[in-house]
Amino acid sequence: MAGCSSAAVDDLSTVPLVALNMTVRKQLSLYLNPRTMVAADWTMVAEAMGFSYLEITNYQTVPNPTERVLNDWQACSTEASVGNLLSILEKVERKDVVEDLRPLMEEDVKKYHESLKKRAIRPLQVPEVDSCIPRTPERSGLTLEDDPDGSPELFDAFICYCKSDITFVHEMIRELEQTDYRLKLCVFDRNVLPGSCVWTITSELIERRCKRMVVVISDEYIESDACDFQTKFALSLSPGARNKRLIPVVYKSMTKQFPRILSFLTACDYTNPYTKTWFWERLAKALSLP
């Protein structure tokens, strides 16, 4: 590949679309949003990605259809990779886009692999002093009930929420933990011990400790960088909602638009008077699935 100096970009088909940053995505929109008779636009790209005629028609109403198509493809399809995107662009004969943006994409892929390596590398340990022996393993001692000599604490669900929504989280604890449902929820401010990197702990809990994640949707959630990271990380573990890993919950009316990245998932709506009666039962059942 032209400009390739690292094995990290040898096979772009294995690199998820999330690796592409906003600069590349904006450039793709500039190329593909204009509707012309001489070159394939976003509609042909969307069709090649597998979107239906009705879906493509609906995308025509949004300000930036290319961005919306990329986000939905990334969230819903296991085929959403950098390599497959390049293949689609070549298939619809937009080699001009491939030639211009491929170097930028490869640079993003390098950065993506570098970030993965940094997460995988454990920090060097300094020699123990008497008060530090025995040392707790890196991935234990994260939560209140972790046993350093036994199995890590496991949960039915990680609760993704903003500080302003904590009152509803308390209600969730009462309804799901302190009733016959007997579910075990991971609430960061309650269960996680202080002193470790927030991003490392969050990733460990979502991927290895919790079967599912409840996303408490509100206007404040949409503005939260922490919630955005948690949601995208969980989506990357379950593309296309294969194992129902994410469950969006709406508990109060909103002034902002529901997050597009979660629009393909069925939400549990506490504000709907027609379904409120069964809200907790439905949520508990979803969290109890194997």
What is the number of other CB atoms lying within 10 angstroms of the CB of residue 106?
Answer: 21
Whether residue 130 is predicted with pLDDT greater than 90 in this model: the reply is: no
| Chain-centre distance for alpha carbon 94 | 29
The C-alpha atoms of residue 106 and residue 12 are separated, in whole angstroms, by: 8
Whether residue 148 is predicted with pLDDT greater than 90 in this model: the reply is: no
* DSSP state, residue 92: T
Give the pLDDT of residue 175.
95
| Residue partners of 140: CB distance under 8 A and separation at least 6 | 146, 147, 148, 152
Whether residue 144 is predicted with pLDDT greater than 60 in this model: the reply is: yes
227-244 residue pLDDT tens: 998 998 888 886 654 566
Instruction: Identify which has the larger pLDDT, 8 or 176.
Output: 176
What residues form DSSP beta bridges with 158?
186, 213
What separation in angstroms does the CA of 137 have from each of 3, 125, 130, 152, 288? 41, 11, 17, 11, 30
Q: Are 145 and 153 in contact (CB under 8 A)?
A: yes
Give the pLDDT of residue 134.
38
Give the pLDDT of residue 123.
45
Q: What does the pLDDT average to over 239-268?
A: 84
Give the pLDDT of residue 19.
84
Q: What does the pLDDT average to over 152-172?
A: 94
Give the pLDDT of residue 66.
92
Domains annotated for the chain, with CATH where assigned, are: 7-120 (1.10.533.10), 155-288 (3.40.50.10140)
10-68 residue pLDDT tens: 477 778 888 888 888 999 999 999 987 778 999 999 999 998 888 888 888 888 999 88
What residues form DSSP beta bridges with 247?
214
Q: Are 45 and 130 in contact (CB under 8 A)?
A: no
Whether residue 250 is predicted with pLDDT greater than 60 in this model: the reply is: yes
DSSP string, 209-233: IEEEEEEEE-HHHHT-HHHHHHHHH
| Chain-centre distance for alpha carbon 145 | 27
| Percent of the chain with pLDDT strictly greater than 90 | 45
Give the pLDDT of residue 110.
87
Give the pLDDT of residue 285.
94
The CB-side HSE value for 233 (13 A sphere, CA atoms) comes to 22
Give the pLDDT of residue 139.
56
Whether residue 7 is predicted with pLDDT greater than 50 in this model: the reply is: no
The residue whose two tokens read 């969307």 is: 46
The residue whose two tokens read 């960061």 is: 188
What separation in angstroms does the CA of 238 have from each of 14, 76, 77? 15, 9, 10
| Residue partners of 107: CB distance under 8 A and separation at least 6 | none
Give the pLDDT of residue 258.
92
75-118 residue pLDDT tens: 777 788 899 999 999 999 999 999 999 999 999 888 888 877 76
Q: pTM of the prediction? A: 0.55
- Plot region of 241 (φ>0 → left; ψ -120 to 50 → alpha; else → beta): left
Question: Which amino acid type is present at position 104?
Answer: L
Q: What does the pLDDT average to over 124-144?
A: 49
What is the number of other CB atoms lying within 10 angstroms of the CB of residue 92?
Answer: 18
Mean pLDDT of the chain: 83
Whether residue 137 is predicted with pLDDT greater than 70 in this model: the reply is: no
194-237 residue pLDDT tens: 887 788 889 889 998 999 999 999 999 999 989 998 998 888 88
Q: Are 240 and 78 in contact (CB under 8 A)?
A: yes
